[in-house]
């Protein structure tokens, strides 16, 4: 059974708008066997532009039932049915939100007649309901009213099923229309597998429409199927071709499938999904290179829907010096105010650098005074409360104190100063190189599988230079702590 549904609403966002009208047509695979429609009181004013579009006014819905009064009817009518609509995600997300507000999890298999029409009736100039019905001769009385649009969608759905039946009859005369529909019905929750299994291309299109109902409107199943199952960076583009999101994965196909398998509910996430019009990618071979290149691209492009790693300037940092008595001092300051080439770690601002240093002082039991966090000619405050061992007064030997400083530094720097990470490339005869010199990330590159070098300078010459920053330092440190299969060449 199929529940063909159309809603009219106060706007386009399920999280803030409400339903003003609902229509349900129950189709048994051959004909409409039941229907229901009603206006609904949304509990809020209907915007003027919505009234202009639908003709539904505040006066019309004032005495109409509220959604909770018809919720039981909706559940009972659609129980065991595939939820069918023209642009199904819109109607389905609104109903799910209305039920969620009542504390009920409404869940149905979904099928989009927009996608099904594209598969079974290719080449149409438009697949909007109004224009499609006009082009193929379906009467549409009451456009932008729930019963009118649902009724036209029911006729369209009926035609799509008949196309499937006719095609199967030509390809396999021994298979009846009932068997053809049974193959589709088996996809519904609790559906029984038919005794005959037609292999019609058209029936498969119906299957695919159900499976891919959660894809963005402008992303076809063919586009998803073309995605590589390899490591790399991928880009989501809007209709203007602009990059709105950058991601990375060791398997681009699986990661993007995960993106689209989520039934987004918030306004921002729905906007994000609806705005995806194209997908491009760049293979990296190496997981580490994918991580580093994603970070670089986010900072370069600053995509609208990437929140993390957009910062490209890190003006503050943590530094290290040794005083005349042999004590090592960690301290924070502006990165561009120091004669040193670079800080141990770069941070977004002085406030973050100070907070970072306080955290390390607490974790490794360091002296606040020797970390320039407590300005005093005598002992630091922590010594007075017995948390400092007296390095600020020279009571703790420098050798013992410095061991804890070194442990703190190791927690946010690399184990080795200069090294190269050699990983898999984009093909069997290629390798990737990631180069770090004196604790500073230089960049990555690709070399022939036969590449062999002993001098560190040769590795440096083989990579493309990229900016060093807090994010890439953290990426490399964390990656090296995982069970990776890359080779790490250390240079003194």
Residue 206's pLDDT is what? 59
59 has a pLDDT exceeding 80: yes
Task: Say whether both 323 and 457 belong to one domain.
Answer: no
Task: Say whether both 169 and 61 belong to one domain.
Answer: yes
Task: Say whether both 239 and 385 belong to one domain.
Answer: no
Residue 444's pLDDT is what? 97
CA 35 to CA 83: how far, in whole Å? 14
120: confidence class by pLDDT, cuts 50, 70, 90: confident
Task: Say whether both 61 and 139 belong to one domain.
Answer: yes
268 has a pLDDT exceeding 90: no
Which residue range(s) make up the domain with 23? 2-185
42 has a pLDDT exceeding 80: yes
Task: Say whether both 475 and 357 belong to one domain.
Answer: no
Does residue 255 sit within a domain?
A: yes
37 has a pLDDT exceeding 90: yes
The 10s digit of each residue's pLDDT in 92-107 is 999 999 998 888 889 8
Interval 54-80 mean pLDDT: 93
Task: Say whether both 126 and 250 belong to one domain.
Answer: no
Does residue 368 sit within a domain?
A: yes
Task: Say whether both 117 and 71 belong to one domain.
Answer: yes
pTM passes above 0.75: no
Pick the closest to residue 371 from 333, 331, 323 (CA basis): 331
Residue 162's pLDDT is what? 80
Does residue 10 sit within a domain?
A: yes
177 has a pLDDT exceeding 50: no
Identify the sign of the CA torsion 41, 42, 43, 49. Answer: negative
Is the model more confident about 207 or about 124?
124
**Looking at the 3D structure of the chain, how many domains does it have?**
4
263 has a pLDDT exceeding 80: no
Does residue 198 sit within a domain?
A: no
Least confident piece of the model among 110-124, 172-186, 463-477: 172-186
Interval 105-117 mean pLDDT: 88
Over the chain, what HEC string results?
Answer: CEEEEEEEECCCCCCCCCEEEEEEEEECCCCEEEEEEEECCCCCCCCHHHHHHHCCCHHHHCCCCCHHHHHHHHHHHHCCCEEEECCHHHHHHHHHHHHHHCCCCCCCCEEEHHHHHHHHCCCCCCCCHHHHHHHHCCCCCCCCCHHHHHHHHHHHHHHHHHHHHHHHHHHCCCCCHHHHHHHHHCCCCCCCCCCCCCCCHHHHHHHHHHHCCCCCCCCCHHHHHCCCCCCEEEEEECCCCCEEEEEEECCHHHHHHHHHHCCCCCHHHHHHHHCCCEEEEEECCCHHHHHHHHHHHHHHHCCCCCCCCCCCCCCEEEEEEECCCCCEEEEEEEHHHCCCCCCCEEECCHHHHHHHHHHHHHHHCCCCCCCCCCCCCCCCHHHHCCCCCCHHHCCCCHHHHHHHHHHHHHHHCCCCCEEEEEEECCCCCEEEEEEEECCEEEEEEEEECCCCCCCHHHHHHCCEECCCCHHHHHHHHHHHCCCCCCEEEEEC
Looking from the CA of 246 toward its CB, the CA atoms found within 13 Å total 23
Does residue 195 sit within a domain?
A: no
Task: Say whether both 18 and 139 belong to one domain.
Answer: yes
Compute the mean pLDDT over every residue in the chain, rounded to the nearest whole number.
84
Q: Looking at 411, 445, 479, which one is the last position of a domain?
A: 411
Task: Say whether both 17 and 158 belong to one domain.
Answer: yes
List the CATH number of the domain containing 82.
Answer: 3.30.420.10
Interval 189-197 mean pLDDT: 41
Q: Looking at 381, 411, 441, which one is the last position of a domain?
A: 411
Interval 275-303 mean pLDDT: 95
Residue 173's pLDDT is what? 45
Task: Say whether both 173 and 273 belong to one domain.
Answer: no
Task: Say whether both 160 and 284 belong to one domain.
Answer: no
Least confident piece of the model among 24-38, 148-162, 186-200, 217-231: 186-200
List the CATH number of the domain containing 286.
Answer: 3.40.1440.10
The 10s digit of each residue's pLDDT in 129-175 is 989 998 888 888 888 899 999 999 999 998 888 875 555 444 444 44
Least confident piece of the model among 59-63, 207-211, 351-355, 460-464: 207-211
Does residue 307 sit within a domain?
A: no
Task: Say whether both 436 and 475 belong to one domain.
Answer: yes
- Name the percent of the chain lying above pLDDT 90: 50
Q: Looking at 355, 390, 411, which one is the last position of a domain?
A: 411
The 10s digit of each residue's pLDDT in 4-19 is 999 999 988 888 889 9
Pick the closest to residue 178 from 202, 196, 163 (CA basis): 196
Residue 167's pLDDT is what? 52
């Amino acid at each position: 059974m199929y529940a063909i549904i159309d809603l009219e609403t106060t706007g386009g966002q399920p999280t803030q708008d409400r339903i003003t009208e609902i229509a349900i047509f129950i189709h048994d695979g051959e004909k409409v066997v039941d229907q229901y429609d009603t206006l609904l009181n949304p509990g809020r004013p209907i915007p003027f532009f919505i009234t202009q579009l639908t003709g539904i006014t505040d006066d019309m819905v004032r005495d109409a039932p509220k959604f909770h009064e018809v919720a039981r009817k909706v559940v009972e009518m659609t129980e065991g049915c595939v939820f069918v609509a023209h642009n199904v995600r819109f109607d389905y997300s609104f109903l799910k939100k209305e039920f969620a507000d009542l504390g009920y999890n409404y869940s149905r298999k979904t099928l989009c007649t927009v996608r099904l029409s594209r598969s079974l009736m290719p080449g149409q100039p438009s697949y909007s309901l109004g224009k499609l019905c006009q082009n193929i001769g379906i009467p549409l009385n009451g456009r932008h009213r729930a019963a009118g649009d649902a009724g036209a969608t029911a006729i369209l759905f009926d035609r799509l099923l008949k196309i499937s039946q006719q095609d199967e009859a030509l390809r396999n005369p021994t298979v009846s229309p009932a068997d053809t529909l049974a193959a589709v019905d088996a996809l519904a929750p609790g559906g029984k597998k038919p005794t005959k299994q037609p292999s019609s291309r058209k029936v498969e299109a119906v299957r695919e429409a159900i499976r891919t109902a959660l894809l963005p409107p402008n992303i076809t199943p063919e586009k998803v199927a073309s995605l590589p199952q390899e490591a790399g960076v991928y880009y989501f583009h809007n209709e203007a071709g602009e990059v709105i999101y950058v991601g990375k994965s060791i398997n681009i196909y699986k990661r993007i499938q995960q993106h689209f398998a989520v039934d987004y509910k918030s306004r921002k996430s729905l906007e994000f999904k609806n705005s995806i019009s194209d997908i491009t990618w760049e293979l990296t071979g190496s997981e580490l290179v994918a991580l580093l290149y994603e970070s670089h691209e986010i900072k370069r492009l600053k995509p609208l829907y990437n929140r993390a790693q957009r910062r490209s300037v890190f003006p503050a940092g943590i530094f290290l010096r040794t005083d005349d008595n042999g004590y090592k001092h960690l301290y924070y300051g502006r990165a561009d105010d120091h004669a040193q080439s670079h800080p141990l770690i770069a941070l977004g601002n002085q406030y973050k650098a100070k907070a970072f240093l306080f955290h390390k002082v607490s974790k490794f039991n360091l002296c606040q005074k020797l970390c320039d966090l407590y300005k005093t000619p005598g002992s630091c405050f922590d010594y007075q409360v017995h948390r400092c061992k007296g390095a600020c007064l020279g009571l703790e030997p420098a050798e013992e104190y410095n061991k804890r400083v070194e442990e703190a530094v190791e927690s946010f720097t690399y184990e080795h100063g200069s090294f190269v990470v050699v990983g898999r490339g984009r093909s069997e005869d290629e390798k990737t190189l990631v180069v770090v010199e004196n604790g500073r990330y230089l960049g990555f590159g690709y070399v022939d599988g036969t590449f062999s070098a002993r001098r560190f300078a040769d590795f440096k010459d083989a990579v493309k230079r990229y900016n060093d920053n807090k994010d890439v330092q953290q990426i490399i440190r964390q990656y090296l702590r995982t069970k990776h299969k890359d080779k790490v060449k250390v240079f003194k």
